[in-house]
Structure 1
Amino acid sequence: MDRARWQQALALLPVCLALTFSLTAVGSSYWCEGTRRVAKPLCQGHPGGSHCIHYSSGSGDNGSQAVQYIWEMGDDKFIQRRFHVGLWQSCEQSLGSADERCRSFQSVVPAEEQGVLWLSIGAEVLNILLTLTSTILLGSRVSYHSSGFHWLKVDASVAILMALAGLLAMVAHMMYTTIFQITVNLGPEDWKPQTWDYGWSYCLAWGSFALCMVVSVMATSRYTAARLEFAEKKSMQGSQHSQHDFQEPKASEGVWETDAAPGLAGRALVSVSGHLPSDALGKVSMC
């Protein structure tokens, strides 16, 4: 692989990374992570369990008058359950097991905010499509090395597409952040988290945005440099042609001054002297 193709392959690398980050982030459910405070259930049939409330029944003749003694007090009656949320679903840890219980994130978002959620998802999908188109264009530049193809137009197209992809990604991430915070405050009680923070998928999504903007700047720089180089070559070629066209009249004028002028003057003198009378020859003078 020559140096030009190696540079083109390096330019393709950040675009592929941006596409991979976007696909991974959109498909995962770790945009936000946290814990929920859930009350423990009664230990019915599991007296030794650590995720339930232990109780004992007092002795009595009548079952309705039995007294139940609960040993857990204060925060011991609650358990912290981990959860993680993405664009599509929200998953929560099950009690007493490593399994997770998942449900659609749209089902916990308030009804008046669900349209904004779909706008965020649509912007993420458009971001992926634009990044994929840029990847195909740059990949064709690496695969098909031909001087007849207008590679300047490819750089200009990639710069515009990646800038649009980055702007769409930024808007989508900000809309999702707003929707999640509104859901935390106004969502159902059986979903509201006690503590939460952004997850690794959210970081990947913003990393994809940063790569999109970097690729756009790089493509714009390549396009500008190529245009300046092309304009400089064109101006140099035009100056060479103008110098060549300007030197030809000078050469003809030099010949006229050195050789052609005396010959013409001599012939004019002979022709004039042939028509004058013999006594007027002495009066002819040349200035």
Structure 2
Amino acid sequence: MDRARRQQALILLPTCLALSFSLTAIVSSHWCEGTRRVVKPLCQDQPGGLHCIHFNKGNGSDGGMDDGNQAVQYIWELGDDKFIQRMFHVGLWQSCEESLNGTDEKCRSFQSVVPAEEQGVLWLSIGAEVLDVLLILISAILLGSGVSCCSSGLNWLKVDASVAILMVLAGLLGMVAHMMYTTIFQITVNLGPEDWKPQTWDYGWSYCLAWGSFALCMAVSVTAMSRYTAALLEFTEKQRAQKGSRHSQHKFPEPEALKNAWETGAAPRPTGHALTNISGHLPPGAPGKVSMC
């Protein structure tokens, strides 16, 4: 494998890594994670449970249980004991929340909790994320074809230039999409439904993967552009050297031609003098060259 193909193979690795990061972030639902404060239900269906409010029904006059409307229920949980913290995580597509027993999750569409006036921005963010993935995929295909196929130096220059442009566009699209999603989530936290609003939240691992893909895209773009610039300068210098060698060959005659010219009398002469070859007009035995002023 020559040097150019080996360098393209090294660029292909972070490109595939950026593609995997973006795909994982899009399909996952861990962009933001946090807790919700939920009121505990009454312990009617599950007496003695840990995640419900315990109460004591009033007794009748005969010592038995009174099921009448005037029965008094004594609630022992007060203040923060009446609430439970439930974990939740949100992505581009859905929002999932931990159930009371902690064994499973209850999920719903994230679009259903976003305010109506912000849903268009959410779809713009999703579209930018998808376009980001497509641009990275095209760059990976171009680099893979350049590594696997036998290409000339000019084709490698075209591949490097195309990859640099595509990756910088993918990085910018991803950055805008991440920022739009962050804004939408913060607006939903403030204006969303009461049964969804979190008490505490922070960014999750999917959000970190999305920004990691952005960093890889920009790094690949800078590397490909530097390779393109260096290869273009080298190619230009080679062309200039070839043109210079051709020009020098046409400008300076061969040594054999100089020798023939000297023998025929076409030698340099002082200023103001002229050499005239009149050997063809002199009798035999006479000098072959006469200098005339």
TM-score exceeds 0.5: yes
**CA shift in 2, pair 1:24/1:180, >3 Å:** same
Partner of 1:238, secondary structure, is helix
Local SS of the residue matching 1:37: strand
How many aligned residue pairs are there?
A: 276
Q: Secondary structure at the match of 1:72?
A: coil
Q: Which residue of 1 aligns with 2:124?
A: 119
- Secondary structure of 1:35 counterpart: strand
CA distance in 2 between counterparts of 1:146 and 1:46 reads: 72
Q: Which residue pairs with 1:22 in the alignment?
A: 22
Q: In the alignment, which of 203, 208, 218 is matched to residue 213 of structure 2?
A: 208
* Gapped regions of structure 2 (runs ≥ 5): 267-274
Asked if the contact 2:133/2:170 (under 8 Å) is kept, the reply is yes
Partner residue of 1:100 out of 79, 85, 105: 105
TM-score by structure 2 length? 0.88
2:199 aligned to 194, 206, 213, which one? 194
Q: Given that residues 136 and 166 in structure 2 are in contact (C-alpha distance below 8 angstroms), is that contact kept between their aligned partners in structure 1?
A: yes
SS at match of 2:51: coil
Matching residue of 1:280: none
Shift of 1:3: 5.1
What is the CA deviation profile of residues 110-168 of structure 1, one whole-angstrom value per residue up to 9, with x for unaligned ones? Answer: 00000000000000000000000000000001111233871111110000000000000
Structure 1 residue 259 and structure 2 residue 264: aligned?
A: yes
2:82 corresponds to which residue?
A: 77
Letter in 2 for 1:158: V
Q: Which residue of 2 is the match for residue 241 of structure 1?
A: 246
Match of 1:276 in 2: none
Give per-residue Cα distances to partners, 1:167-216, cap 9 Å, x unaligned.
00000000000000000000000000000000000000000000000000
> C-alpha offsets along residues 11-64 of structure 1, whole Å, 9 cap, x if unaligned?
100000000000000000000000000000000032210100000012135622
Aligned pairs for 1:223-242 within 5 A: 223-242=228-247
Unaligned runs of 5+ in 1: 274-283
Q: Map 1:90-169 to 2 at 5 A.
A: 90-147=95-152, 150-169=155-174
Q: Secondary structure at the match of 1:102?
A: strand
* Equivalent residue number for residue 217 of structure 1: 222
Give the drift of 1:263. Answer: 8.1
SS of the residue corresponding to residue 65 of structure 1 reads coil
Which secondary structure does the structure 2 equivalent of 1:36 belong to?
strand
Q: What TM-score, normalized to structure 1?
A: 0.90
> Residues 260 and 191 of structure 1: is their aligned pair in 2 closer, same or farther, counting only changes over 3 Å?
same
Matched with 1:281 is: none
- Residue aligning to 1:8: 8
- Relative to structure 1, the CA distance from residue 240 to residue 67 in structure 2 (aligned partners, 3 Å threshold; closer, same or farther) is same
Aligned mates of 1:71, 1:92 — CA distance in 2: 27
Question: Quick check: 2:175–2:214 contact (8 Å CA) kept in 1?
Answer: yes
Letter of the aligned partner of 2:50 in structure 1? S
CA distance in 2, matches of 1:24, 1:45: 40
Change (3 A) 1:256 1:217: same
Shift of 1:5: 3.7
Select between 183-192 and 96-105 the one with higher mean Cα deviation.
96-105
Moved more, 64-73 or 165-174: 64-73
Percent of matched pairs sharing the same residue? 72
- What is the rounded CA distance, in whole Å, between the counterparts of 1:191 and 1:10 in structure 2? 46
Which position in structure 1 is the counterpart of 2:190?
185
Structure-2 residue corresponding to 1:32: 32
Cα pair distance change 1:214/1:23, threshold 3 Å: same
